Structure 1
């Protein structure tokens, strides 16, 4: 039994199908015998069924192939979690546009270094953000994020009085359903 290259392609539902087709072509050109494809946002990790199927499918010696890193993981922590799962199966990860293959010592080193750099950059960015907020607060310029949903409370309550449901209200007003429920709950307890 030979080793297999298994492809994974993803676009968000907002992307065009042309992007998905391009990924599939690249994966097939890279020698993938089977390609798992889905259109789902990277932030909705619960809906990434095909990624789960792809990881479940790979066997020892196989390689999971993606065209770009952002097609696979949404953060360094998520990437490392996926990489641990792939490694635990005795498989490796190949990222085509970066030329990184974790089946090689150099590939493992490069991915670990890139992950570390990304994590470091994020920590520096968050530190600068905290410093900027502290400075703005000290100068009396920082007010925090404007509460968008609560600003629309009267509109939500008016629509609710007409008999519309929370989902319909949320879509019409442009806020989340949870915010609609919170506004209604607050109005009832007032």
Structure 2
């Protein structure tokens, strides 16, 4: 079974022409998934559509953006469909999971998504610090800065320069660590 899928709203003219293109492409069924249609009881959600599809079926979309708007969710959705034996095609023929080039593109997309998700993990070798940038100075470096101050004779600018940070970063790091370094 070849099923066409459209997600989102847009002007009704766009939907009408997209449905006509999917039907001309050979889709026996075209599903339009939009919040307004689902709330009115006349639309079908993507998960309901997936429940109806079986291995060997073909899902046709006008563009991949109809499956997801971000790379990570798109890769997950494509991998889920391929694992279930469902072929995915775009109307323009640029994407078809049956072609070797698309299999390579899907692997590349998965690597991009993994890299993107990996970029949000803490820097290796640093303690987990929560959201935001990792600290510029490790607790050991902050302890060293504190020792240099306590030994006397060094200005904040000199200590910061020696550690390769700005004075503001040095003061902020010392303040976060507290007066005793614990």
TM-score category of the 2 structures, normalised to the smaller one = 0.5 to 0.7
Q: Deviations over 1:136-176 (max 9, x none)?
A: x98xxxxxxxxxxxxxxxxxxxxxxxxxxxxxxxxxxxxxx
Q: Does 1:38 align with 2:39?
A: no
- Matching residue of 2:8: 11
Structure-2 separation of matches of 1:123 and 1:23: 37
* Alignment check: 8 A CA contact 1:8 1:64 kept: yes
* Mapped pair 1:60 → 2:55: yes
Closer, same or farther in 2 for the Cα pair 1:118/1:95, shift >3 Å? farther
- Shift in CA distance, 114/77, structure 1 to aligned 2, threshold 3 Å: closer
Question: Alpha carbons of 1:89 and 1:117: their partners in 2 closer, same or farther (altered >3 Å)?
Answer: closer
1:116 and 1:30, CA in 2 relative to 1: closer, same or farther beyond 3 A?
Answer: farther
Distance in 2 (alpha carbons) for counterparts of 1:94 and 1:9: 13
The equivalent of 2:162 in structure 1 is: none
Aligned length, in residue pairs: 127
Tell me the equivalent position of 2:103: 108
Do the aligned partners of residues 119 and 67 (structure 1) sit closer, same or farther apart at CA in structure 2, a change above 3 Å counting? farther
Give the 3 Å change call, closer, same or farther, for CA 22–60 of structure 1 in structure 2: same
Q: How has the CA–CA distance of structure 1 residues 118 and 30 changed in structure 2, closer, same or farther, with 3 Å as cutoff? A: farther
Alignment correspondent of 1:81? 76
Structure 1 unmatched ranges of 5 or more:
42-47, 125-129, 132-136, 139-190
More helix by share: 1
The CA RMSD over aligned residues, in Å, is 3.7
Deviations 1:72-102 (A, max 9, x none): 1122221122123212321111122362111
Residue 23, structure 1, aligned to residue 35, structure 2 = no
Matched residue SS, 2:92: helix
Whole-Å separation in 1 of the counterparts to 2:110 and 2:64: 11
Q: Which runs of 4+ in 1 moved over 3 A?
A: 114-124
Give TM-score scaled by structure 1 length: 0.51
